[in-house]
């Protein structure tokens, strides 16, 4: 690989007080690819994502996005490039703002004009009816809300989406719709994804490469193909795989 990767994380460490929860994690994601982080709760996978997104400044190591190193404090331009989608579409949208207001906000923050057209176009892109625009979040279903959250992340035209368990609060039929939407968007906009999930099947569906976290360390990085074929090296990866495959065999 000659071009520098879109995301380059090198020996990332994060501590809460005197407890180190991310102990030197490194990975690279080439532009337009999807990297998955799996692990159980407490493994540090979400903490990696939060450090990457700038939500947590107390880290050490090196993080570079699109070839430029970033520090704990991020400039506004960073947030145009990198956006995040959270797990709970009930908690991540302002309950007293209309969808129109929610989607306009990033445009105002970044000083982008053409608000009317952009909001309408982004709603269409995430396959929401135009009528949704003047509704409040509580008037939408969970799946529709997650589409709004994705639209909000997309509206400032970022290059990187950080996805923290984007489908685990949703029903499986809705999960399928959201996963298809994310796959389409990545192809159309050449987006780079980092996807955090505890669900191996979901991660392998969307991501070509997968990092397995355990106790704050990335114990294995492997391709989705190797994971599917059972060519995992680390016992924890194998255990997670066995549990996931065990449920598929009905």
Partner 1 sequence: MLVDIADLRVTFATRTGTFEAVRGVSMRIGTEKLGIVGESGSGKSLTARSLMRLLPANARLSAERLTFDGIDVLNADERTMRTIRGRRAGFILQDPKYSLNPVMTIGRQVAEAWRTHKGGGRREAEEAAADLLDQVRIRDPRHVMGLYPHEVSGGMGQRVMIAMMLAPDPELLIADEPTSALDATVQAEILRLMEDLVTRRGMGLILISHDLPLVSHFCDRVAVMYAGRVVETLAAGELARARHPYTRGLLDCLPSLTHPRERLPVLARDAAWLQP
Q: Count of residues binding partner 1 (CB under 8 A)?
A: 33
CB of 246 to partner 1, least distance (A): 8
- In 3-state terms, what secondary structure has residue 114? coil
Task: Name which of 114 and 249 has its Cβ closer to partner 1.
Answer: 249
Question: What CA–CA distances, in Å, run from 148 to 61, 80, 160?
Answer: 34, 17, 17
N residues, the chain: 250
User: What is d(CA 246, CA 229) in angstroms, rounded to the nearest whole number?
Assistant: 14
CB atoms within 10 A of CB 14: 22
Contact string 82-111 vs partner 1 (x = CB under 8 A): ------------------------------
Asked if 17 interacts with partner 1 (CB under 8 A), we say no
Q: What angle do CA 229, 196, 49 make, to 5 degrees?
A: 135
* Residues between 24 and 53 that touch partner 1 (CB under 8 A): 40-41
* CA quadruple 109, 114, 120, 125: dihedral, nearest 10: -80
CB atoms within 10 A of CB 187: 10
Asked if 244 interacts with partner 1 (CB under 8 A), we say yes
Task: Name which of 31 and 201 has its Cβ closer to partner 1.
Answer: 201
Range in contact with partner 1 (rule: CB under 8 A) among 65-73, 75-83, 88-96, 233-241: 233-241
Asked if 1 interacts with partner 1 (CB under 8 A), we say no
* Residues between 130 and 169 that touch partner 1 (CB under 8 A): 142
- In 3-state terms, what secondary structure has residue 11? strand
Q: Could you list the residues that contact partner 1 (CB under 8 A)? A: 40-41, 142, 171-177, 179-180, 183, 198-202, 204-205, 224, 227-228, 239-241, 243-248, 250
């Amino acid at each position: 690989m000659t071009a520098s990767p879109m995301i380059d994380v090198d020996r990332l460490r994060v501590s809460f007080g005197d407890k180190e929860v991310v102990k030197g994690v490194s990975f690279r994601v080439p532009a337009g690819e999807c990297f998955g982080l799996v692990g159980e709760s407490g493994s540090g996978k979400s903490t990696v994502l939060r450090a990457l997104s700038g939500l947590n400044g107390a880290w050490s190591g090196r993080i570079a996005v699109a070839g430029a190193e970033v520090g704990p404090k991020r400039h506004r331009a960073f947030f145009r490039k990198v956006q995040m989608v959270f797990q709970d579409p009930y908690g991540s949208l302002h309950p007293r703002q209309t969808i129109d207001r929610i989607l306009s906000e990033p445009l105002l923050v970044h000083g982008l004009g053409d608000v009317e057209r952009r909001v309408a176009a982004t709603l269409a892109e995430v396959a929401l009816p135009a009528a949704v625009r003047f509704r409040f979040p509580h008037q939408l279903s969970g799946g529709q809300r997650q589409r709004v959250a994705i639209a909000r992340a997309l509206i400032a035209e970022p290059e990187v989406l950080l996805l923290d368990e984007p489908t685990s609060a949703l029903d499986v039929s809705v999960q399928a719709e959201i996963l298809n939407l994310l796959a389409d968007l990545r192809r159309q906009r050449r987006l780079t994804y980092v996807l955090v999930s505890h669900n191996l099947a979901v991660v392998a569906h969307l991501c070509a490469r997968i990092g397995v976290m355990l106790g704050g360390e990335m114990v294995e990085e492997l391709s989705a193909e190797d994971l599917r074929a059972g060519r995992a090296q680390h016992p924890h990866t194998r255990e997670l795989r066995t549990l996931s495959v065990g449920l598929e065999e009905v």
